[in-house]
């Protein structure tokens, strides 16, 4: 039943951009907001398997902070998975199990259009000397955020 639900997600649901023409598949998208919440930073993912009823290949793609105005869209991860599997499936001699439609698939540029204009790279140099205590997050000097620092209740 779960396999059928995941196949429906690729055929008609939130995972349609992962569809490899001519192949059945199933999959699930993922979107996670990064801490601190409300900063507009997301990690998006897609996990899929091909062919749907007798899976032989699994692909998991993750995009950390897509370079787009609206990062909370898994289209990037889906398009990457589809592009990878378009190459992998024939290479592994996994034959198409559906009639190809010939429809033009969404490209990464098309995914950018879905999520708004791209934004400048936010990767900036580290803090000036003496400002280290202002920087929170996951790095070699810390173990990440505490629940208190992240604004989460300790329930």
Give 62-100 pLDDT, tens digit per residue.
999 988 878 888 998 999 999 999 999 999 999 999 998
pLDDT at 124 over 50: no
Residue 112 has pLDDT above 80, yes or no: no
Output the pLDDT for position 96.
94
Is the pLDDT higher at 142 or at 113? 113
Domains in the chain with CATH codes: 2-124 (3.40.710.10)
CA dihedral 16, 17, 18, 21 (to 10 degrees): 90
DSSP calls for 80-148: HHHHHHHHHHHHTT----S----PPPPPHHHHHHHT-S---------PPTT-GGG--SSSTT-----TT
The predicted-structure confidence for 10-36, as pLDDT tens digits, reads as follows: 999 999 999 999 999 999 999 999 999
Q: What are phi and psi of 131, to 5 degrees?
A: -100, 5
User: What phi and psi values does residue 21 have, to the nearest 5 degrees?
Assistant: -60, 125
């Amino acid at each position: 039943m779960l396999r059928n639900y995941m196949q429906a997600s690729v055929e008609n649901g939130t995972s349609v951009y992962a569809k490899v023409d001519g192949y059945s598949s199933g999959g699930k998208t993922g979107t996670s907001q990064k801490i601190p919440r409300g900063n507009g930073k997301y990690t998006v993912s897609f996990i899929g398997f091909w062919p749907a009823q007798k899976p032989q290949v699994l692909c998991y793609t993750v995009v950390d902070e897509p370079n787009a105005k609206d990062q909370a869209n898994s289209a990037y991860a889906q398009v990457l998975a589809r592009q990878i599997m378009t190459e992998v499936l024939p290479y592994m001699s996994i034959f198409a199990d559906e009639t190809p439609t010939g429809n033009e698939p969404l490209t990464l540029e098309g995914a950018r259009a879905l999520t708004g204009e791209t934004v400048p790279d936010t990767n900036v140099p580290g803090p000036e000397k003496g400002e280290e205590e202002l920087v929170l997050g996951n790095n070699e000097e810390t173990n990440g955020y505490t629940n208190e620092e992240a604004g989460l209740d300790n329930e």
